[in-house]
Structure formats: structure tokens, C-alpha cells
Structure 1
């Protein structure tokens, strides 16, 4: 049973720029640079037939390429920070693409995604990082101003059952046109 999700790839030059923020935060488990991506829809551990239906439905998506802008660094988890992220500006193009993925996955028989879509690139998983240490890290680093890339395809990735962070395998790619 594959564990799948749809995503935008982060180009190598942008990934390398984000990699300069690695280090300096106790309790961070840094994601390998080659595994940086922007998740659109988590499908989960699904049966092969559902995976095939999802792949077929995603092949029907017709959207134009668009620009993706990284706004800055942030953290998920509030008083119990669990991830350090690069926040993506929620443009109409990315929000509409994600909403279409959500509709198609529901049509394939998957349950609705419970979490609100917050486009981001996960840079590190946090374990026992204090809110103060995370706030200090973010205050010192600021974030990557003006980092932009063109999304000209989305992909389906599979991952092994792990604590997150890859390695991910591209199972299918869908051009935006």
C-alpha cells in the first residue's frame, strides 16, 4: 500500500538557497535538501486501485504554470513547535490548484483533508525545541527575501513509512500548461 502525496518540486537553486538556513537550532532534524517540496494534498497509505484512480484524475488537471514566492521563515506548532518552514505566499494559482487536488481526491474516494492549506517547504522537524529557541532562531534569520520559482508541473511522490523527511520517490509528473 503506497503512502502518496501531491506536491510542487523545489528547483535545485532555490533548495540550495533555503539550505543556507540549516543549523543553529537545537532539537532540529534538518530535511535533506533534495527532499524539499511544497505539499499540495496528502493522500496517505492507500490501496493500489485508489492510487491508480487518483493518478488518472490528476491527469485531467489543466492549469497554467505560475510563480511561487517564498515569504519567509516560520514554525508550525505554536507553544510546541514541531516544524521549521519556509512560508509560501498563498497566490490564487497555488490555492486553486490545491483546491482542485482536494476535489479530485474526494472524487477518488479519499476523505477530506482536515487541515487548512498553508503552503510551505518544511526545512526541519523539531523535537524538544523550546518556543523561545525557535523564536530566537527566526528573529536572527529573518528569512529568504524575494526567493521565487516557476511551477511548471506538479508530481505524485511516494514515501516510505518513517518519521518524515524522505526519501521521496516521484511516481508521476503532470505538466502545467
Structure 2
């Protein structure tokens, strides 16, 4: 039974720049740069028939236009109990439109609606035992975040193994966007 999600790949040069933020945070389990991505829609564990339906349904979105994504800050999820460090992306109309279109298509394919608000980001580390104070210190010491911009020419259907998180992820199918 595959565990699936859709997302945007991070170009190698952007991944390299993000990987320079690694280190110096107690309790951080750093994600390998080759597993960096922006999740558009978590699908979850599905049977093979549903996986094939999902892959076929996403085909109708390949006429979407390519666009740019700009990563512009570091932040965390979890508030006083931080659980993930991430690089946040600007919310732009093209990105939101692609994510919303995927949500509609996947619901028509029989999936339950996504319960979480879409927050475009690249997870850099999973945090366990990191205090809010540790994270605040890390963010203060990391210096100014130089924005990183890249062009999105496709989105992909990823699969992952049932694990603690952070990969490895496999591209099951790609969907090119119009130039």
C-alpha cells in the first residue's frame, strides 16, 4: 500500500543553499537535501487502485502554467513545543491555485478533504527535545535569510516509506507545467 503526496521538487542549487543552515540545533534530525520538497497535498496510505486513480486524475492539471517560488524565511511549526524547522515560501497566486486545483481533483477522485491549512514550506529538520528557547537562539544565530527563488516547471506525485519522516521519497510520476 503506497503512501503518497504531491509536491514540488527543490532544485539542487537551492537545496545546497538550504543545507548550509544545517547544524547547531539540539534535538534536530536534519533532512537530507535530496529529500527537500514543498508538499502540495498529502494523500496518505492508499491501495493500488486508488493510487492509479490519483495519478490519472492529476494528469488534467498539467495544463497549469509554470511559475516562480520564493523561499524567504526560516520558522518552526509547533509553537512552544517546536517539532519542525522549515524554510517558508511566499504565498503567491499561482502556487495557491495549483494546490487548490489538486485538492478539488483529488476530492473528486474520492479522497477526503485535507484538514490542514496550506502553508508552503520546505522542511529542513524534525525536532525532538528542542526547546522554544533553543530554536529562538538558533534562528537568531542563523543570520539574515537570503531569499531563494526558483522556477517550477512541474509538480510530482511522490511516494514514501512508512518511517519517522524525512524520506527517502520516490517520484512516482511527474506532471509538466506549461511554459
TM-score per shorter chain, which class?
Answer: over 0.9
Query: Residues of 2 paired with 1:143 and 1:158: CA distance?
Result: 34
Pairwise CA distance, 1:146: 2.3
Aligned CA distance change for structure 1 residues 143 and 19 (closer, same or farther; 3 Å): farther
Pairwise CA distance, 1:59: 0.4
Pairwise CA distance, 1:7: 0.4
Specify every segment of 5 or more residues in structure 1 that has no aligned partner in the other structure, as ranges: none
Partner residue in 2 for 1:166: 167
Pairwise CA distance, 1:140: 1.7
Q: Normalising by structure 1, report the TM-score.
A: 0.98
Partner residue in 2 for 1:128: 129
Aligned CA distance change for structure 1 residues 121 and 143 (closer, same or farther; 3 Å): farther
Query: Residues of 2 paired with 1:172 and 1:71: CA distance?
Result: 28
> How many pairs are equivalent?
177
- In the TM superposition, structure 1's runs of 4+ consecutive aligned residues that sit over 2 Å from their partners are none
Partner residue in 2 for 1:86: 87
RMSD: 0.8
Query: Residues of 2 paired with 1:96 and 1:6: CA distance?
Result: 14
For the 8 Å contact 1:18–1:144, the answer to whether it is kept is: no
Aligned CA distance change for structure 1 residues 100 and 143 (closer, same or farther; 3 Å): farther
Partner residue in 2 for 1:112: 113
Query: Residues of 2 paired with 1:84 and 1:150: CA distance?
Result: 23
Partner residue in 2 for 1:51: 51
Map 1:132-151; keep pairs closer than 5 Å. Answer: 132-151=133-152
Deviation string, structure 1 residues 64-115 (Cα, Å, up to 9, x no partner): 1100000110000001100000001010011110001111111111111111
Specify every segment of 5 or more residues in structure 2 that has no aligned partner in the other structure, as ranges: none
Pairwise CA distance, 1:141: 1.3
